[in-house]
Each structure stands twice: as C-alpha cells, then as structure tokens.
Amino acid sequence: MSGFKYCYGPVGSWRLGVSLGIDPVSQPEKVCNFDCVYCQLGHRLPCQPGRSVYVMPEDLGEELERIKAPADYLTFSGRGEPTMAANLTELRLECSRRRPEKIAVITNSGLMYSAKVREQLASFDFVVAKLDAPDGALFDAINRPGPGVYFREVVSGLVLFSKGCRGRLAIQTMLIGANKGRARDLARLYAEIGPDEVELNTPLRPCAEKPLPQPELEAISAEVSAELARLGAGKIKVVDVYRAGHPKVTPVSAPETLRRRGKI
C-alpha cells in the first residue's frame, strides 16, 4: 500500500484486536501537548494550547475506501495526540460512513478538562485514556505536559467523562521505574474515575525507558486488583500487556505503521 497519509496498519493490538490506525493529525513531527519520558515518537517540546484542523474528512474517506483489510476497530491514534484535531467529530463521522467497524480513540487525557473535548470523545465506541501518575509532581515528571495542562484538571475531567461516556472506557497506565511503586495510589484514582477496565502497560517498543519484566508487572496488577476490591471497585477489570496477547496481523502500510509505532 503506498500513497497513504492518514491510515496505517492494521496492527495486532493487545487492547483492540485487529486495529486499523487513523491519524487525525498526520504531521511529519509529532503534535502532542505532552512529551512523555517514554515517548516512542521522539522528544519535542509539547504544543501550545489550541487545537487545529489537520486532516480533511473527505481526504480520510478517500483513503478508507481504498483499504479492503477488515478490522475489529478503527483506532484514532498516530503521530501525536488525537484530541489536538479540532474536527475529531467530523473525522469520526466520516469513518462511520465509510466502514462498519467500531471506532476507538487512544488519548493522553490532557484535554479532558474541556467540556467540548469530552463531548467529542463520548461518541466513540471505546476510549482508552492515559493516567500514568497519582499526583502532580509525578505527572509533571513522567508526562511533561505543555502549558495549560494540570494534573488535578485531568483527573476531574476523567471523572466527569466517565459519567457521560456512552461507550466503553479504559484507563491505561504506562508503568516504568518512576511510578511502579505507586500502584495503590493509582488504584484509588481508578476507583474515583470508575472506568470499565484498567490497562497496565510497560514500554515494549523502542524508547528511552526500560520495560518492567513480566513478574513485576503481574505483581503490580495483583496489587491494583486487591486495592480496587478493598475500595469496593472490584468490578473494574484489570488487564496487562504481557498476559493479554495480541493477534498476528500484516500491515498493508508498513512504512506508515513504523512512523507511528516505532515497531510493527
């Protein structure tokens, strides 16, 4: 597949099965209001506040028409943060018009304080929202957010979003050396937010941070589950990247996939 600018994959995702990637930003450099220490897209100063239109719906639709590979989900992700695209709703509607699959979005939660962004995300079938830290100091150290993004507003935005979300909500946490000792503090926030599931990840793609080994991630997973049960939130499912498994898929756009994921 050549000449594709906005779609990549499909990839075998541990969270989403066969996932056809949609990049609503699609710029040469990443466009993100975070600069996470583990980012696989390279490091760059986070964006200034403000969203823009990067991709026209009809251009995305034309690419989708040319891709015949089936998928479990069309997943908004890519080279940066999907909510930086101001026309997220128009792009999602274009996907729905062209393809029958459910639509997911992977967000860093940085704009969850915005009622407009929460409203746009609420219409997705599955929202995977990042929360890597249980306090502002660690949030600043791991996610290195840009101006106008504050830890407490991210958490209160996630609590509000969980109440209004019409699809499925997962909170995903990337576990590295800096936050691995904070499982119980994170579990208290998961209980406050109340998602359908918690996804515990560790960086397995090439980046500056080392992944936690499987036994360590499994121990953290057990600690999170125990704390959720103690807090009366035991119905929140906890999954981790090692145990979930993922389907084997050959991308129809290998270069475009590598540009967004660092690994196929």
Residues making contact with ligand SF4 (CB under 6 A): 30, 32, 34-36, 39, 41, 80-81, 108
As measured in angstroms, the least distance from the Cβ of 248 to ligand SF4 is 24
- State the minimum distance, in angstroms, from the CB of residue 65 to ligand SF4: 28
Give me the least distance between CB of 225 and ligand SF4, in Å please.
Answer: 25
| Contact by Cβ (8 Å): 32, 108 | yes
Measured from the CB atom, the residue of 67 and 131 that comes closer to ligand SF4 is: 131
- Is the Cβ of residue 83 or residue 253 nearer to ligand SF4 in the bound state? 83
Give strand pairing partners of 8: 21
Place of tokens 């009809």: 58
Q: Which is nearer to ligand SF4, 30 or 102 (CB)?
A: 30
8 is written with which tokens? 């990549």
**Contact criterion met (CB below 8 Å) for 176 and 160:** no
- With a CB cutoff of 8 Å and minimum separation 6, the contacts of 143 are 34, 35, 36, 108, 110, 130, 132, 133
Whichever of 29 and 65 has its CB closer to ligand SF4, that residue is: 29
**Smallest distance from ligand SF4 to CB 100, Å:** 28
Q: How far is the CB of 172 from ligand SF4 (least distance, A)?
A: 11
* Nearest distance, CB of residue 32 and ligand SF4, angstroms: 3
Say if residues 75 and 101 touch (Cβ distance below 8 Å).
no
Strand residue runs (E) in the chain: 7-13, 17-22, 73-76, 102-107, 126-130, 168-174, 197-201, 237-240
Phi, psi of 262 (to 5 degrees): 75, -10
Q: Output 211 or 227, the one with its CB closest to ligand SF4.
A: 211
Closest to 62 in 3D by CA, of 88, 97, 102, 87 = 97
In angstroms, what is the minimal distance from the CB of 41 to ligand SF4? 5
Q: How many CA atoms lie within 13 A of 92 on its CB side?
A: 24
DSSP letter (8 states) at residue 262: S
Q: Quick one: 108 or 173, whose CB is closer to ligand SF4? A: 108
Q: Is the distance from CB of 144 to CB of 46 less than 8 angstroms?
A: yes
| Residue whose CB is less far from ligand SF4, 110 or 195 | 110
